[in-house]
């Protein structure tokens, strides 16, 4: 074997965002681009000789080429062993599971999550640490710093190896273990949930499930677990074969993009439970027959019912939610007498809380829920959690949600996304809004007095690290909130996200239309940030 040192020069745009580095495939295809990021990661980690790394991705276009590049660089940098999903496939939650199970030093996950794939689509890469979770900010920042000064990377001149057969091989002295991407994850799930009860539920004649894998990574996982192990009817998993371009779709499990599932679930003979996952398998959307469950409600309801699930029957240590996620989960935490945490957007902020057992369940409004079983959010896990609740409660999804509202009140909630707006306009909008903040407290808008207006800053209670500038919060005296932040995962211009919530504990007023109920606050948000005036947009790109 010959280790080659290749001379390279820094790229200035390699700062990892909320979930790693995400760019157009064409950007990743530039000479040295991927290599620079990988070598910068290795350099940031320090001495990596002798370590074990897990490598896999969501199967999108460029997945396998990237893995071949990374394997050669890992071998040249002295990595002792690479554990790779067969055909380069590993869902994000499965990668987290495998890192933990085999005590790997860390892992490299290739994905741009829900972003479209294909030669003109997006690609992404992120580094996960030994706990199985996304690298915290001190590591992503170190990677970025390395990428600014990089001058060479190491690789080898070997041929590509085959990723298609499960088993052991070596690449220039580095052991390469190709593993079945599903089995470790499936085993973990079977240990958390009551598979016997779920099996019985799925065998009931009037119970149906429709799981939309959206042509992305969860197809093989859902087929194996739901259909083969739990006995769901063949065909319960739709769009179950992962395609490199995700069938030209947009595997973002929301009401806009998961169209096929939405049609099924809002039809007259809708099955009991509908669910969808995203490109890399960490997100989930839950729908009952003719009934959509907001992700914020889903987190709260899962927490309130966790005692029904074997893995959580002894109680939760705490619940964590990202700042823009509705406050519904906080009420459950209060009721249970456990800690609740509000973190910045992005799963990496949950890692310390989970490691320190300060939280058991975590969630984000963006269709992300998860627990201490791994250190990523987990789409299929959430579906199994709901199935387990349904098996115990023998009610419909709608009944469960409505009873939850009656007990805890309902947090009406919506998110409005304005995608691909001009980056400078978006920046100006945010900074003008920030300038206004000091004058807002005490003002009365839409009949409610603003009790705080700030730019969210988070101090991690475990390591005291501070993350500031995490989104603008406008809080009203009655608990209503308007939040503004710019996406850290978009690859085209800027995406402005506006999150609006309003609490209603009067059960006679809990069945209203969300957009109508929030209309006044939506107008206040537009006025405060001059969205229409500045962006020229009169409606959001996506409403959730
Ligand atoms: C979005 C979501 C955020 C999520 C992130 C990664 O980030 O809002 O909650 O953690 O995507 O999810 P942003 O910065 O675009 O709002 V995934 O499934 O793309 O790893
Ligand atoms: Co994802």
For residue range 250-308, list pLDDT tens digits in order: 899 998 899 999 999 999 999 999 999 999 999 999 999 999 999 999 999 999 999 99
Listed residue (115, 373, 89) closest to 242, CA to CA? 89
List every span in the chain annotated with CATH 3.40.120.10. Answer: 3-181, 185-408
Share the mean pLDDT of the chain. 95
Q: How confident is the model at residue 493 (pLDDT cuts 50, 70, 90)?
A: confident
pLDDT of residue 499: 98
Contact 416, 543 (CB under 8 A): yes
DSSP-based three-state secondary structure for 192: helix
Distance CA 448, CA 481 (A): 11
DSSP-based three-state secondary structure for 385: helix
Listed residue (49, 13, 23, 15) closest to 142, CA to CA? 15
Residues 291-307 have pLDDT tens digits of 999 999 999 999 999 99
pLDDT of residue 477: 86
Residue 423 among the catalytic residues: no
Distance CA 448, CA 436 (A): 18
Structure tokens belonging to residue 121: 């689509």
Catalytic residue, chosen from 19, 111, 113, 371, is 113
pTM of the full structure: 0.94
Which contacts qualify for 195-202: CB closer than 8 Å, 24 or more apart? 195/229, 195/230, 197/388, 197/391, 197/392, 198/230, 198/384, 198/387, 198/388, 198/391, 199/230, 199/231, 200/391, 201/387, 201/390, 201/391, 202/226, 202/230, 202/231, 202/232, 202/233, 202/387
Check if 347 has its Cβ closer than 6 Å to any atom of ligand 1: yes
pLDDT of residue 447: 85
CA of 118 relative to ligand 2 center, distance in Å: 16
Distance CA 329, CA 501 (A): 13
CA of 397 relative to ligand 1 center, distance in Å: 26
**Per-position DSSP letters for 287-331, written without gaps between them:** EETTEEE-HHHHHHHHHHHGGGSGGGTT--SEEEEETTS-THHHH
- Please give, one letter per residue, the 3-state secondary structure of 103-157: CCCEEEEECCCCCCCCCCCEEEEEEEECCCCECCHHHHHHHHHHHHHCCEEEEEC
Which residues partner with 155 through β-bridges?
4
The order of strands in the sheet holding 318-322 is: 339-343, 318-322, 361-364, 368-371
Q: Which of 346, 347, 369, 375 best tests ligand 1's pocket when mutated (most atoms within 8 Å of CB)?
A: 346
Distance CA 280, CA 346 (A): 15
Protein residue closest via CA to atom 11 of ligand 1: 489
Distance CA 287, CA 427 (A): 35
pLDDT of residue 18: 75
List every span in the chain annotated with CATH 3.30.310.50. Answer: 410-543
Check if 22 has its Cβ closer than 6 Å to any atom of ligand 1: no
Check if 113 has its Cβ closer than 6 Å to any atom of ligand 1: yes
pLDDT of residue 292: 95
pLDDT of residue 448: 87
Distance CA 286, CA 508 (A): 24
Domain 410-543 has CATH 3.30.310.50: yes
Check if 327 has its Cβ closer than 6 Å to any atom of ligand 1: no
pLDDT at 346 over 70: yes
CA of 285 relative to ligand 1 center, distance in Å: 14
Q: How confident is the model at residue 240 (pLDDT cuts 50, 70, 90)?
A: very high
Domain 3-181 has CATH 3.40.120.10: yes
Check if 497 has its Cβ closer than 6 Å to any atom of ligand 1: yes
Backbone dihedral angles phi then psi of residue 464, each to the nearest 5 degrees: 60, 10
Distances (CA, A) of 72 to 20, 108, 163: 21, 14, 13
DSSP-based three-state secondary structure for 239: coil
Residues 311-321 have pLDDT tens digits of 999 999 999 99
Contact 397, 294 (CB under 8 A): no
CA angle 345, 352, 23 (to 5 degrees): 40
CATH superfamily for domain 185-408: Alpha-D-Glucose-1,6-Bisphosphate, subunit A, domain 3 (3.40.120.10)
Protein residue closest via CA to atom 17 of ligand 1: 113
Residues 415-472 have pLDDT tens digits of 999 999 999 999 999 999 999 999 999 988 888 899 999 999 999 999 999 999 999 9
CA of 19 relative to ligand 1 center, distance in Å: 7
Backbone dihedral angles phi then psi of residue 64, each to the nearest 5 degrees: -70, -40
CA of 113 relative to ligand 1 center, distance in Å: 9
Distances (CA, A) of 2 to 67, 71, 411, 441: 19, 14, 61, 65
Distance CA 40, CA 8 (A): 12
Share of the chain above pLDDT 70, in %: 100
Distances (CA, A) of 525 to 33, 436, 440, 504: 40, 13, 13, 19
Listed residue (60, 57, 61) closest to 71, CA to CA? 57
Check if 295 has its Cβ closer than 6 Å to any atom of ligand 1: no
pLDDT of residue 13: 86
The conformational region for residue 113 under phi > 0 = left, psi -120 to 50 = alpha, else beta, is: left
pLDDT of residue 289: 96
Give residue for tokens 């805890």.
408
pLDDT at 1 over 70: no
Contact 86, 80 (CB under 8 A): no
**Cβ neighbour number for residue 105 with a 10 Å cutoff:** 17
pLDDT at 8 over 90: no
Distance CA 1, CA 79 (A): 15
Structure tokens belonging to residue 387: 């199935």
Residues contacting residue 347 through CB under 8 Å, at least 6 positions apart? 19, 133, 134, 282, 362, 364, 368, 370, 375, 376, 377
Q: How confident is the model at residue 3 (pLDDT cuts 50, 70, 90)?
A: confident
Contact 417, 367 (CB under 8 A): no
Q: How confident is the model at residue 12 (pLDDT cuts 50, 70, 90)?
A: confident
Q: How confident is the model at residue 7 (pLDDT cuts 50, 70, 90)?
A: confident
- Across 404-418, average pLDDT: 96
Which residues partner with 450 through β-bridges?
476
Nearest atom in ligand 1 to 322's CA: 9
pLDDT of residue 339: 96
Q: How confident is the model at residue 131 (pLDDT cuts 50, 70, 90)?
A: very high
């Amino acid at each position: 074997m010959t280790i080659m040192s290749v001379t390279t020069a820094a790229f200035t745009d390699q700062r990892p965002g909320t979930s790693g580095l995400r760019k157009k495939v064409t950007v990743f295809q530039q000479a040295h681009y991927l290599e620079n990021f990988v070598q910068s990661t290795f350099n940031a980690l320090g001495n990596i000789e002798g370590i074990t790394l897990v490598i896999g991705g969501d199967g999108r276009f460029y997945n396998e080429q990237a893995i071949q590049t990374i394997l050669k660089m890992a071998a040249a940098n002295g990595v002792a062993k690479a554990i790779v999903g067969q055909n380069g496939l590993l869902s994000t939650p499965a990668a987290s599971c495998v890192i933990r199970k085999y005590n790997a030093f860390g892992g490299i996950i290739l994905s741009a999550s829900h972003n479209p794939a294909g030669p003109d689509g997006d690609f992404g890469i992120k580094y996960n640490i030994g706990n199985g979770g996304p690298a915290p900010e001190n590591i992503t920042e170190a990677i970025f710093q390395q990428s600014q000064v990089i001058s060479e990377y190491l690789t080898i001149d070997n041929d590509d190896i085959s990723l298609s057969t499960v088993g052991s091989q070596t690449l220039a002295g580095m052991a390469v273990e190709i593993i079945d991407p599903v089995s470790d994850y499936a085993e973990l799930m079977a240990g958390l949930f009551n598979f016997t009860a779920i099996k019985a539920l799925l065998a009931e004649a009037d119970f149906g499930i429709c799981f939309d894998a959206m042509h992305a990574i969860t197809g093989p996982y859902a087929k194996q677990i739901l259909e083969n192990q739990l006995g769901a009817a063949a065909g319960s998993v739709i769009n179950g074969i992962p395609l490199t371009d995700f069938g030209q779709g947009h595997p973002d499990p929301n009401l806009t993009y998961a169209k096929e599932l939405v049609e099924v679930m809002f039809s007259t003979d809708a099955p009991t439970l509908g669910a969808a996952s995203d490109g890399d398998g960490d997100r989930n959307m839950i729908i009952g027959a003719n009934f959509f469950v907001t992700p914020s409600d889903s987190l709260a309801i899962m927490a309130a019912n966790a005692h029904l699930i074997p893995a959580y029957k002894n109680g939760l240590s705490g619940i964590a939610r990202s700042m823009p996620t509705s406050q519904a989960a906080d009420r459950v935490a209060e009721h249970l007498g456990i800690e609740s945490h509000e973190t910045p957007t992005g799963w990496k902020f949950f890692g310390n809380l989970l490691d320190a057992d300060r939280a058991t369940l975590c969630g984000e409004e963006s269709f992300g829920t998860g627990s201490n079983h791994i250190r990523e959010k987990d789409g299929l896990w959430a579906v199994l959690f709901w199935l387990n609740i349904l098996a115990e409660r023998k009610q419909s999804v709608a009944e469960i949600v409505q009873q939850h509202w009656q007990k805890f009140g309902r947090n009406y909630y919506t998110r409005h996304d304005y995608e691909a707006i001009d980056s400078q306009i978006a920046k100006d909008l945010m900074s003008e809004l920030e300038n206004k903040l000091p004058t807002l407290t005490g003002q009365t808008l839409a009949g409610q007095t603003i009790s705080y207006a700030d730019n969210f800053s988070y101090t991690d209670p475990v390591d005291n690290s501070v993350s500031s500038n995490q989104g603008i919060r406008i809080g009203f005296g009655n608990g209503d909130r308007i939040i503004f932040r710019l996406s850290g995962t978009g690859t085209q211009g800027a995406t402005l996200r506006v999150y609006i919530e309003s609490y209603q504990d009067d059960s006679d007023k809990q069945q209203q239309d969300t957009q109508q109920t929030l209309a006044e606050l939506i107008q206040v948000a537009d006025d405060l940030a001059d969205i229409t005036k500045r962006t020229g947009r009169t409606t959001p790109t996506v409403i959730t």
